[in-house]
Structure 1
Amino acid sequence: MSAYLIFVVHSAHDKALLQKYRDEAIPVVKSQGVKFFAGPVINAALENGPVDSSVVLEFPTVEDAQAWYKSPEYEPLKAMRQAAATSTTFIVESWPEGL
């Protein structure tokens, strides 16, 4: 089943660094065959806002999503995002077909 790695940026402490992260992360995502599934957020948090931005990446499996998140290519970018913003990152798995 597909898995989705979801990034939710609640607030940016350093907008320039967050933009640098985005500029550098996009080629890494594309080079590894990861699919951009959804994003960016429309500034319309329905609960527990605020939300500055969000991105959903699609992977074939949860294991693939975890491996990408821990990959040497993404590690330095992860540190950059964490320094630039307060965010939440998590993985969800798709529902079984027919549910």
Structure 2
Amino acid sequence: MTAYAIGNLHPKPVLDEEVFDYMERIQDTLDPFGGRFLVHGAPAREVREGSWPGAVVIIGFPTYEDARSWYDSEAYQALIPLRTRHMTGDILLVEGVPEGYEAAATAASLRDQAPVV
């Protein structure tokens, strides 16, 4: 099942050289784990509900284990300070849904397990 690393990043107004170094080196940390950028640093084009300050990053991985192994890898851990010294944000690792997933089936299962009120 696919997995994703999702970031909502808030860069400082002036980017330091370290941020460019981070960007130039990150792909080499992703390659051993099958990671690839799906969205990279794009501002939210249209916020329909709530607020979404910052830039969106979404990286896809073949499995959750690959995503976790990438994040925990020595190579990526060495790069993290290059990013965090110059931007704040939130990073999530999430599992995707399997092929053929149906939201209605999940709703039915949850309904069956919910307490009756």
> What percentage of aligned pairs have identical amino acids?
29
Q: Is the 8 A contact 1:35 1:57 kept in 2?
A: yes
Cα distance change of structure 1 residues 55 and 70 upon mapping to structure 2, 3 Å threshold: same
TM-score for the superposition, normalised by structure 2: 0.69
TM-score for the superposition, normalised by structure 1: 0.79
Query: Is 2:52 the counterpart of 1:49?
Result: yes
Gaps of 5+ in 1: none
- Alignment length (residue pairs): 98
Query: Which contiguous aligned blocks of 4+ residues in structure 1 show a shift greater than 6 angstroms?
Result: none
Gaps of 5+ in 2: 103-117
Post-superposition Cα deviations, 1:42-92, rounded to whole Å, max 9, x if no partner, equal: 3536233321x2221111211111111010010111122111110110012
| 1:7 aligned residue | 7
> Out of 70, 77, 80, which is 1:78 matched to?
80
CA distance in 1, matches of 2:58, 2:33: 15
Cα distance change of structure 1 residues 30 and 9 upon mapping to structure 2, 3 Å threshold: same
Please tell me whether Structure 1 or Structure 2 has the larger radius of gyration of its CA atoms: 2
Q: Aligned Cα RMSD in Å? A: 2.2
Higher helix proportion (structure 1 or 2): 2
Structure 1 letter corresponding to 2:62? P
Q: Which structure has more RCO (C-alpha within 8 Å, separation ≥ 6)?
A: 1
Q: Is the 8 A contact 2:39 2:59 kept in 1?
A: yes
CA distance in 2, matches of 1:21, 1:42: 19
| 1:96 aligned residue | 98
Cα distance change of structure 1 residues 24 and 74 upon mapping to structure 2, 3 Å threshold: same
CA distance in 2, matches of 1:63, 1:19: 28
